[in-house]
Amino acid sequence: MQMVAVATLTAGVAGASGYAGRELLRLIDGHPALFLQTAQARSDGFDALDVATLAGCDIAFLALPHGESHALGEALAETGTLVVDLGSDFRLDPGWVYALPELNRAEIAGARRIASPGCYATATLLALAPLAEAGLVDWPVAVDGKSGVSGAGRTPSERTHLSEVQGGVQPYSVTGHRHIAEIEAMLGSIAGEEARVTFTPHLAPHSRGLEVTCYVRLRRPLGQAELEALLRDRYAGEAFVQVTQRPHPGLLHGANACHLGVWADERTGSAIVAAAIDNLVKGAAGQALQSANIALGLPETDGLTARGLGL
């Protein structure tokens, strides 16, 4: 008779009623080594969460609204619990590991305080890292992003109402979006120089899925074959990154995957790189679980799939 593995590590989720929190519950439910010990939601702040129960878990995921996990994250980290924060509170905190596995896997291994990147930052960094590493980017880079309304969170607003988003796309946070700082910090670290990015996100009339298109002026001309080889070589062996000429977020629903496309514009000496992800999985819950697997010494792909539900 075949033996079935029993989950031996306990997990807690704070913010379990939100979109990213619910994705975490789904993924943990299918994880071979994690058992969901507690799923908590709060309506009136830090005191409504059962901190002691979360601290008793082997790992605590924080899927709270941006700006609301700092006190809880620090309190849990002080107990020695492995904490993975999906919000923006710790992404620029030197005491926490900024965790995008395909770019800094070694730093994540054994970490106890993990800050998971934002969804737009994940797609942008995966798209631009190979060019930045090769010293090919003539800064600044222009990035155009489009995301489904789930990226704005579960709290309803006029901006995310169906009648407001249906029929087209609309820009928002045109200057100063919170993801710019983490994008520039990570790209600067990768390139070994100051990185500058102009980023404009747009709200698209669908529930989930995100795509960025990056326009890069190159320091030396590269043809189509060279650009494709650069990306394929950089992500060779990566379970969750695929280079394709059809990066379409609709194909990635439910997947912890990023699809990249690249095109040479030889007329202008530029490269155009597009990245598609599911903003709730590779852009949030799935990436958090991927980093947790690494930090816990588990197989990185446990509980995750690169195959989406899209046709």
Residues 144 and 267: their CA atoms lie apart, in Å, by: 21
- DSSP code for 150: G
- Alpha helices, H only, 43-178: 51-55, 70-78, 101-108, 119-133, 162-165
Task: Report the candidate in 289, 209, 210 with the shortest Cα–Cα distance to residue 27.
Answer: 289
Cα 59 from chain centre: 19
Catalytically active residues, by annotation = 119
Residues 247 and 48: their CA atoms lie apart, in Å, by 41
Show the tokens assigned to 26: 């789904």
Burial state string for 74-90 with b = 16 or more CB within 10 A and e = fewer than 16: bbbbeeebbbbbbbbbb
Sign of torsion over alpha carbons 209, 179, 241, 27? negative
